[in-house]
Structure 1
Amino acid sequence: MFKSLFGSLLTQASCQEGAGYLKRADSEKLHEIFLKYATVEKNGEKHITSEDFVRKYLGLFSEDDFNKESVQLIAGIVDMDKDGYISFSEFQAFEGLLCVPDALYKTAFQLFDTNGNGLVAFDEFAEVMRKTALHKKLPFNMESTFVRLYFGKDKKRLVTYPEFSQFLHDFHEEYGVEAFKKCDKEGTGFITAGDFRNIMMSVKSHLLTKDLKSKVITASGFPQGERKISFPYYMAFNSLLNNMELIKRVYLNATNGHRTQEVTKEEFLHSAQMMSQITPLEVDILFNLCDILHHTNGRIVYNDLNSITPEQYFKQVTRRVAEIKAVSSPEERGVLIQILESTYRFTLGSVAGAVGASAVYPIDLVKTRMQNQRTGSFIGEVAYRNSWDCFKKVIRHEGVFGLYRGLVPQLIGVAPEKAIKLTVNDLVRDKFMDKKGNISLYAEIIAGACAGGSQVVFTNPLEIVKIRLQVAGEIAGGTKVKAWSVVKDLGLFGLYKGAKACLLRDVPFSAIYFPAYAHVKAKFADENGYNHPLTLLAAGAIAGIPAASLVTPADVIKTRLQVVARSGQTTYNGVIDATRKIYAEEGARAFWKGAIARVFRSSPQFGVTLVTYEILQRLFYVDFGGSRPTGSELHVATPIEESIKKPHHIGGYQVALPVLTGLETKFGISLPRFSYPKPAQQ
């Protein structure tokens, strides 16, 4: 009775502590969920059986030939009085335990605390370990000095939770040492490559990525080849795998946060000695592994580390994140799939472009009217003193809707324009990207220039119609101009009037914008490479400032070529003619008319467009088997986000699966799923 009460109090304390970390559902909703699985009544109260809790509620061990001992051990984490039934108070207490930051260690502690007294005895530890898959592969010496140091010489000492957490942390390292000793029967300090492979694939398999298993361990690709592996190398190898997150931080420290900067072994060592206790041997192994996997030739980048880094335990909750399928080349995919992918990108680009254009259209109208305003000739009084004056006069004389003259054709045309620009930039970047995912600055500029050039086929007709509609409101008492009448008057070739100036504007704009956006966005990303929508918006807006301002002269020339000159206004016969006449009549400053309005329009427009484009790709991402468009990084789902797919997992139970999975991926403690060995596949 005392043991059960003590253990219950321990877990209830965890519940109270956990309440501050995750927003728990109220008790009524939790109780409602509990009753859906509670099929047994005991002492007038509903209970969930151990089997129902593990197999039906958690969704584990769903096979018909499940291992009953494993199910009982997992259920024992929740079942504090160990009677095979889970009461609502136990159910609620475990929900609180899952909320605490050290939930993984506390869950492991309760797995080994089989009698529920809040302490772990040696017999309890040994009983659970002997039932694990790891122990059956390679039995651990329960009489070792390591065990006696923790549980006492006579192994009668009871270990508290804080002490057990340290024991569990050290235990798996000791397991590796024991495995080495068993293979090194003569005590030479060396084991064969085959023994090394067997240990890594059994005792240390949770530290191995897919690439490490296939290209290094099973292929005997480690530097020693088929020769013997020394104990120092063995320990350094395992220490390196255990500390890959620290290794990443060392790399970022050496590059000041840049992920594509190459780092030599000497530079990495210098950074390592400044911030950690990583040994030179571990660094040697790191660079050797990177060279084996990626042919780095002594220089590594951040992406090289990902194929060595084992996923954190919470990422193992879903196979989809842990086992992202290899990207196939476009040639391997059917024509229909490629068409669907193009349609998908086109649709997202269209929506993003429409959102961005609508958000800043009034500024665009002011910019156009300012650029079309002539000075230095006999055309009469200047209509607008500045952009703000223009904005006020439009509202005064034409109403608020006057700020949106020409918006409809803009929205119709902006869909293919933005879609082709974003798609071409992604396509060309993919072509220039190397196997490590790196791209040079000149390649980024070329990709942006290609994107800008490709859009002109849509941009020029769109803008000439839009501009003529925007300036139409300046003519007092003039007839109302409609988009379709402008198109008929211009004809097919007339829609491309000023196309050269449009190219002179759009090619350098995109050549500046897209590389700037990519680098600013990378600078704003967190250490996992993820950008919050606000940082995406900021990156898009910042990149738009130099791009929009520096191409203003070309935009002025394009505007002058595309508007209909009124009586008394100068006419132009091309880019060169327009350049000469504008300079002669109005001076060099005329080329920068509307520059401020252009920056205030283009900068936020592209910020809104790009953040919309990337968020849409995150929300509605469809895997067509091709490469992901640039910037559409899928936010790695947290345990909470993944477990939302289980509607009955609320509050702390949102992290139940990753925490239980973490017992294996963090500590290597794997409970057998089946009651009998499955037949080997031929």
Structure 2
Amino acid sequence: MSNVTVKENIPKAVDRTKRVAKWYFGGFGSAGAACVTHPLDLLKVHLQTQQGANIGLIQMAVKVVKSDGLLGLYNGLSASLCRQLSYSMTRFAIYETVKKQLVKDGTPMPFYQKILLAGFAGATGGFFGTPADLVNVRMQNDIKLPKEQRRNYKHAIDGLWLVYKHEGLKKSFGGATMATSRAVFVTIGQLACYDQIKQVVLMTGFMKDNLFTHFTCSITAGAIATLLTQPLDVMKTRVMNAKPGQYSGLSACALDIAKNGPMGFFKGFIPAFVRLGPQTVLTFIFFEQLRMNFGYDPK
């Protein structure tokens, strides 16, 4: 009898894979990923905004390092972190919070519901993160300008304040339509597709909820997100970095890009995937590790 009692008192091992993420884990995971992938994001912006003779990714990297040193690859990092802690934290918070409310009996959400939820979360996060995104693009592109034309924002908060002070609240949300549209597609590609791919592979029984599965699902989601968003990303970057009055609207920007053929909408596609792929992978790896180690157990 005593042996039975001892066995009954042994606590059950906690299944960390069943833990639920807290609402802010997605923002922290995205910020961690941004610290690693920021140089690739900076080079992508430079490739998309270059005029005249086009150069490749490696040549652009060499040019930046020669001009501003190795730390030049991290120009605008504070704005990138500010963007992730506004844009990504918002979209992850909405997606994860609403999903918990809709999935109370353990039944997975249908894929179409994940797409709709991700689209709404992305639109909200994209709009909310537009000011930080605008400052991010400007700070990354600043080193390409002549010294007398540089904006020289000290950091993200300084940039946000100066844009509001000198250009007004409306300009702070310049490019919001394009940023929001892009955020819808990238969030569908990342969150909804990652969620669905992970659900499917775990149901097969051949893969467990571990680091390898997180990597496999996230790199696939990153490829889908890049495919969906690249044309919008090119136009968003052009609009945000345009001089006042350069474009009368998105259609004018699209026509300007299309002058050089449809592939203009995919300029920087490879560096975009090289950046978005690792960014997606690292975001979900950080997110999943936070969930499994610091999340809470479902009731």
Would you call these one fold, judging by a TM-score over 0.5? yes
Aligned to 2:66: 396
Residue segments in structure 2 that go unaligned for 5+ positions in a row: none
SS in 2 for 1:370: helix
- Residues 454 and 316 (structure 1), Cα distance of their counterparts in 2 relative to 1, 3 Å cut: farther
- Residues 528 and 574 (structure 1), Cα distance of their counterparts in 2 relative to 1, 3 Å cut: same
Alignment of 1:126-205 (within 5 A): none
**Percent identity at matched positions?**
23
Report deviation, 1:475. Answer: 2.0
Report deviation, 1:495. Answer: 1.2
Query: Is the 8 Å Cα contact of residues 257 and 264 (structure 2) preserved in structure 1?
Result: yes
Query: Is the 8 Å Cα contact of residues 366 and 387 (structure 1) preserved in structure 2?
Result: yes
Query: Is the 8 Å Cα contact of residues 111 and 196 (structure 2) preserved in structure 1?
Result: no
2:268 aligns with one of 572, 579, 594: 594
TM-score (norm 1): 0.39
Q: What residue identity is the alignment partner of 1:620?
A: F
Report deviation, 1:425. Answer: 1.3
Q: What residue identity is the alignment partner of 1:448?
A: A
Q: What residue identity is the alignment partner of 2:152?
A: V
- Range 586-595 or range 520-529, more displaced: 520-529
Report deviation, 1:523. Answer: 4.6
1:545 aligns with one of 223, 227, 239: 223
Q: Supply the distance in 2 between the matched residues of 1:315 and 1:586 (Cα, whole angstroms).
A: 73
Deviations 1:184-212 (A, max 9, x none): xxxxxxxxxxxxxxxxxxxxxxxxxxxxx
Q: Does 1:450 align with 2:143?
A: no
SS in 2 for 1:435: coil
Aligned to 2:94: 424
Q: Supply the distance in 1 between the matched residues of 2:281 and 2:227 (Cα, whole angstroms).
A: 15
Aligned to 2:237: 559
Deviations 1:263-302 (A, max 9, x none): xxxxxxxxxxxxxxxxxxxxxxxxxxxxxxxxxxxxxxxx
Query: Is the 8 Å Cα contact of residues 452 and 509 (structure 1) preserved in structure 2?
Result: yes
Q: What residue identity is the alignment partner of 2:220?
A: I
Report deviation, 1:611. Answer: 1.3
- Residues 400 and 611 (structure 1), Cα distance of their counterparts in 2 relative to 1, 3 Å cut: same
Q: Supply the distance in 1 between the matched residues of 2:188 and 2:211 (Cα, whole angstroms).
A: 23
Q: Supply the distance in 1 between the matched residues of 2:14 and 2:291 (Cα, whole angstroms).
A: 16
Report deviation, 1:317. Answer: 3.7
SS in 2 for 1:622: coil
Q: What residue identity is the alignment partner of 1:356?
A: A
Aligned to 1:534: 212
- Residues 577 and 530 (structure 1), Cα distance of their counterparts in 2 relative to 1, 3 Å cut: same
2:291 aligns with one of 602, 617, 623: 617
Q: What residue identity is the alignment partner of 1:615?
A: Q
- Residues 581 and 623 (structure 1), Cα distance of their counterparts in 2 relative to 1, 3 Å cut: same
Aligned to 1:356: 33
Q: What residue identity is the alignment partner of 1:458?
A: F
Q: Supply the distance in 2 between the matched residues of 1:565 and 1:534 (Cα, whole angstroms).
A: 45
Query: Is the 8 Å Cα contact of residues 315 and 321 (structure 1) preserved in structure 2?
Result: no
Deviations 1:206-240 (A, max 9, x none): xxxxxxxxxxxxxxxxxxxxxxxxxxxxxxxxxxx
Q: Supply the distance in 2 between the matched residues of 1:419 and 1:316 (Cα, whole angstroms).
A: 41
2:281 aligns with one of 599, 607, 615: 607
Report deviation, 1:357. Answer: 0.8
Q: Supply the distance in 2 between the matched residues of 1:419 and 1:537 (Cα, whole angstroms).
A: 21
Report deviation, 1:392. Answer: 1.6
Report deviation, 1:435. Answer: 3.4
Query: Is the 8 Å Cα contact of residues 368 and 559 (structure 1) preserved in structure 2?
Result: yes
Query: Is the 8 Å Cα contact of residues 94 and 121 (structure 2) preserved in structure 1?
Result: yes
Structure having the higher Rg: 1
Residue segments in structure 1 that go unaligned for 5+ positions in a row: 1-69, 75-131, 134-313, 323-340, 375-380, 626-682
Deviations 1:484-535 (A, max 9, x none): 2543333322111111111221112212322321233235548397421232
Deviations 1:590-639 (A, max 9, x none): 111111111111111121111111211211123586xxxxxxxxxxxxxx
Alignment of 1:95-494 (within 5 A): 317-318=10-11, 344-346=22-24, 348-374=25-51, 381-382=52-53, 384-433=54-103, 435-478=105-148, 479=150, 481-482=152-153, 483=155, 484-485=158-159, 486-487=162-163, 488-494=165-171
Q: What residue identity is the alignment partner of 1:556?
A: V
Deviations 1:110-149 (A, max 9, x none): xxxxxxxxxxxxxxxxxxxxxx99xxxxxxxxxxxxxxxx
SS in 2 for 1:550: helix
Aligned to 1:158: none
Query: Is the 8 Å Cα contact of residues 23 and 96 (structure 2) preserved in structure 1?
Result: no
Q: What residue identity is the alignment partner of 1:606?
A: T
Q: Supply the distance in 2 between the matched residues of 1:436 and 1:360 (Cα, whole angstroms).
A: 35
Report deviation, 1:544. Answer: 0.7
Q: Does 1:580 align with 2:273?
A: no
Q: Supply the distance in 2 between the matched residues of 1:481 and 1:317 (Cα, whole angstroms).
A: 62
- Residues 537 and 316 (structure 1), Cα distance of their counterparts in 2 relative to 1, 3 Å cut: farther
SS in 2 for 1:586: coil
Alignment of 1:5-84 (within 5 A): 70-71=1-2, 74=3
Aligned length: 286
Q: Supply the distance in 2 between the matched residues of 1:538 and 1:371 (Cα, whole angstroms).
A: 29
Q: Supply the distance in 2 between the matched residues of 1:358 and 1:536 (Cα, whole angstroms).
A: 20
SS in 2 for 1:520: helix
SS in 1 for 2:38: helix
More helix by percentage: 2
Query: Is the 8 Å Cα contact of residues 122 and 180 (structure 2) preserved in structure 1?
Result: yes
2:246 aligns with one of 571, 574, 578: 571
- Residues 624 and 539 (structure 1), Cα distance of their counterparts in 2 relative to 1, 3 Å cut: closer
Q: Does 1:496 align with 2:173?
A: yes
Q: Supply the distance in 2 between the matched residues of 1:393 and 1:619 (Cα, whole angstroms).
A: 42
Query: Is the 8 Å Cα contact of residues 120 and 184 (structure 2) preserved in structure 1?
Result: yes
Deviations 1:54-101 (A, max 9, x none): xxxxxxxxxxxxxxxx44xx5xxxxxxxxxxxxxxxxxxxxxxxxxxx
Query: Is the 8 Å Cα contact of residues 362 and 404 (structure 1) preserved in structure 2?
Result: yes
Q: Supply the distance in 2 between the matched residues of 1:316 and 1:475 (Cα, whole angstroms).
A: 69
Report deviation, 1:432. Answer: 4.3
